[in-house]
């Protein structure tokens, strides 16, 4: 993917070209986190069956945390001189992953689908660390901290699926 953003200013110690690279990587993370937030909420509303309460209540703090992650990414984009884009149309246009399409379903079915969806988000975060780590340690730290939490959420999902 080519350069989407070329800021006119950035933080001290980071040149404009590198800032643009970091902003572009962060923008894709913002799209992924906004999509994850909506997907988690969708699952929260549509999960049914014997494990309903456990999954429904497990998702609430994750939903809140993912919204905070998105906010941190958006604020980092702005700090670096970029313009964070959080509109649904921009998310759909930029998305490179499959949309979550499962509707009302039992907990295990949703958790299997969420396992795959979280894996995609986590993979994108790892790619962002690789793309930005040598350019901006602050961004790397933000994304790594989020990655730690996202991997913990994946563990929670997989613990439900483990038989």
pLDDT in tens, the chain (163 residues): 455 678 999 999 999 999 999 999 999 999 999 999 999 999 999 999 999 999 999 999 999 999 999 999 999 999 999 999 999 999 999 999 999 999 999 999 999 999 999 999 999 999 999 999 899 999 999 999 999 999 999 999 999 999 7
- pTM beyond 0.85: the answer is yes
Domain ranges of the chain: 16-95+102-161
**Which tokens sit at 25?**
């990587």
Three-class DSSP category at 48 = strand
Asked if 26 contacts 82 with a C-beta cutoff of 8 angstroms, the reply is yes
Assigned CATH topology for domain 16-95+102-161: Ferritin (1.20.1260)
């Amino acid at each position: 993917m080519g350069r989407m953003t070329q800021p006119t200013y950035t933080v001290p110690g980071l040149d404009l070209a590198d800032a643009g690279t970091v902003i572009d990587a962060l923008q894709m993370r913002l799209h992924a986190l906004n999509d994850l937030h909506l997907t988690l909420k969708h699952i929260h509303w549509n999960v049914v069956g014997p494990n309903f309460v456990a999954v429904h209540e497990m998702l609430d703090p994750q939903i809140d945390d993912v919204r905070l992650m998105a906010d941190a990414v958006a604020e980092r984009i702005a700090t670096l001189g970029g313009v964070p884009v959080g509109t649904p149309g921009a998310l759909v246009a930029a998305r490179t992953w499959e949309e979550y399409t499962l509707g009302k379903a039992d907990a295990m079915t949703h958790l299997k689908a969420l396992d795959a969806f979280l894996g995609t988000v986590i993979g994108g975060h790892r790619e962002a660390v690789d793309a930005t780590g040598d350019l901006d340690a602050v961004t790397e730290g933000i994304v790594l901290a989020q990655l730690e939490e996202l991997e913990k959420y994946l563990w929670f999902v997989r613990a439900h699926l483990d038989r």
